[in-house]
Amino acid sequence: MNIIVMRDGLARPIMLSIERVAAMAALLLFLPVVAGTALFWAHAWHVRRVGGVTGQAAPAVQQEAREVQKLASSSHQTIGRLAREVGRLTAQTSQLDAMGARLSQLAGVPVSSLGSAVVAPLQVATHAAGTGQDVSVASLQVLAAELKQQLGQRQMELAALTQVLAAHAVRTMTTPGGWPVRGGWISSPFGPRPDPFTGRPGFHPGVDIAAPVGTPVHAMAAGIVIFAQTDGGFGRLVKVFDGHGEVTMYAHLSADYVHTGEIVHKGMLIGRVGDTGYSTGPHLHFEVMLHGVPINPIGFLDLADRH
């Protein structure tokens, strides 16, 4: 069966068969289906490919995330450790400042404080670390190192000052001072005088302090007893060496309470006033020798301690 298509004018008519028209119509209907199917499979292939790549990349991304988290945790722990270290050093700073203030008071020497120069920035750093603010590990490390250096220097300074004060304290304790016999009075001074037994010119190497027999005699200086026995004209005699070349002597005692080699401290009871040896009456002969040479002990006697 044919279809005749008539055109205007002298144009020839177009002859179409039913079979040809049906074939063309079927082709026009089939092409979209084929194209859609092709696009569908192309999209599916692309999704599978992208999904595969994404699936392969997921473990790497997760590993990277874990590494970042691990680094963050390690950094936080390091900051916490440094903050604790800074806190410990701050406490040491306070202790050294307290010690320095005490030593400064004893020595009369001003000692600078580390607190104003170091503690304030440390408090800022530790507060920032505790509140999660932006504090780098490097900054805390530098701060802690600087503080350790300053603390080391302060420790050496205070150690030296302590040694000076200790030496000063020892010197003070071993320097004669006070009054060996309470209630006594000087009956014969240091220097030239007639010999009380012969009347001839002589030299008195100490001072005589008159007091009743049995009056307590106290050490004028700390030291070690190097002599404690009877010695001719001195009668019962005690000598104390201070370790710096000075020897204090207590003569004519009626009793002594120390022995050779004993350590005595300043003000310690070492004997009692007597009348032993060459003596004209109850008294204490007190003498100070520096490197074997008698010196006038009057400068060591504190009249305030006489009564």
pLDDT, position 190: 94
298 in the same domain as 238: yes
One pLDDT digit (tens) per residue for the chain, 307 residues? 555 555 555 556 656 555 565 555 555 555 555 566 666 666 666 656 655 544 454 566 566 666 656 656 666 666 667 677 777 776 776 677 777 777 666 666 665 544 444 444 444 444 444 444 445 667 767 777 777 777 777 777 777 767 767 777 777 777 888 899 988 899 999 999 988 888 889 999 999 999 999 999 999 999 999 999 999 899 999 999 988 889 999 999 999 999 999 999 999 999 999 999 999 899 999 999 999 999 999 988 875 565 5
Of 121, 155, 174, which residue is a domain's last?
174
**How is residue 12 annotated by DSSP?**
P
pLDDT score recorded for residue 251: 97
161 lies in the same domain as 192? no
Do residues 93 and 147 make contact, with C-beta atoms less than 8 angstroms apart?
A: yes
Q: Are residues 209 and 131 both part of a single domain?
A: no
Task: Please report the DSSP string for 45-93 in residue order.
Answer: HHHHHHHHHHHHHHHHHHHHHHHHHHHHHHHHHHHHHHHHHHHHHHHHH
Residue 117's pLDDT is what?
43
* 299 shares a domain with 198: yes
Instruction: Provide DSSP, 208-268.
Output: EEE--TT-EEE-SS-EEEEEEEE-GGG-EEEEEE-SSSEEEEEEEEEEE---TT-EE-TT-
168 and 190 together in one domain: no
The answer as to whether 289 is a domain residue is yes
| Residue 113 domain-assigned (yes or no) | yes
Asked if residue 260 belongs to a domain, the reply is yes
Domain around 130? 79-174
Q: In CATH, what number is assigned to the domain containing residue 250?
A: 2.70.70.10
Residues 160, 208: one domain? Answer: no
pTM: 0.54
Query: Total structural domains in the chain?
Result: 2
Q: Does 264 reside within a domain?
A: yes
Do residue 170 and residue 208 come from a single domain?
no
Bridge partners of residue 14, in order along the sequence = 5
Tell me, what amino acid is at 46?
H
Is residue 74 included in any domain, yes or no?
no
- Given the structure tokens 């203030």, which residue do they identify? 101
pLDDT at 269: 97
SS3 call for 149: helix
CA quadruple 59, 63, 64, 66: dihedral, nearest 10: 140
Question: Per the domain annotation, does 247 fall within a domain?
Answer: yes
Residue 188, classed as helix, strand or coil, is strand
Same domain, 132 and 107: yes
Query: What's residue 302's pLDDT?
Result: 73
Decide if 268 is inside a domain. yes
